[in-house]
Amino acid sequence: MNHKRIEDLVRGLLVELGEDPRREGLLKTPGRVARSLEYLTQGYRMRKGSVVNGAVFKSETNNMIIARDIEVYSLCEHHMLPFFGRCHIGYIAEKQVLGVSKLARIADFYARRLQIQERLTAQIAHAVMEEVRPEGVGVVMECQHLCMMMRGVGKQNSVMTTSSVLGSFHDDAATRTEFLSLLRR
């Protein structure tokens, strides 16, 4: 990322909003925004292979494995406002398992870019399927979107839920039901 270019654009944006970028409280804002955007969009500059980093392990288990309540933060591609919530990832291993922290890292890898929740959910599911080759994968996301909460319809308590189910989670109703029931508290 070109920090200098982003800082110049932010200064111009501040002027267009009617602010004085030379005002004490705004002097360092362009640099802060550039660093913030670099962090919030780091998924564009990462490789999925470096996220998983070889943490795929042989295993004889074929049980359902679930990581619940993974915090997710992203930016809506329509308004560049944050959306945030929880991601639940489950899969049935066949011959290998993924290091548990890698599930959260995969979620962050795709969340740290401009997104829509529907695509993010599917990307996470497909990435787990590619990395572990399980019998099936299920991903459920529950997020709140600031673009809906603080502008537009202004629905502060709204939560959007999306799911992506692949393999046996898609084809077998009993597997899908077991996954969804294990997500309920």
Q: Could you read off the pLDDT of 65-84 as tens digits, one per residue?
A: 999 999 999 999 999 999 99
Residue 36: band (very low, low, confident or very high) from pLDDT cuts 50, 70, 90: very high
Could you list the residue range(s) of the whole structural domain that residue 147 is in? 54-183
pLDDT of residue 42: 96
Q: Are residues 65 and 123 in the same domain?
A: yes
Lowest mean pLDDT among 24-28, 72-76, 141-145, 181-185: 181-185
Whether the pLDDT of residue 154 is over 90: the answer is no
Q: Are residues 18 and 103 in the same domain?
A: no
Dist CA 115 CA 20 (whole Å): 31
Computed from CA positions of residues 123, 124, 130, 133, in that sequence, does the dihedral angle turn out positive or negative? Answer: negative
Q: Are residues 98 and 19 in the same domain?
A: no
Q: Are residues 62 and 150 in the same domain?
A: yes
Per the domain annotation, does 46 fall within a domain?
Answer: no
Q: Are residues 27 and 65 in the same domain?
A: no
pLDDT of residue 123: 98
Q: Are residues 77 and 160 in the same domain?
A: yes
pLDDT of residue 156: 87
- Residue 28's domain is classified under what CATH number? 1.10.286.10
Contact 63, 100 (CB under 8 A): no
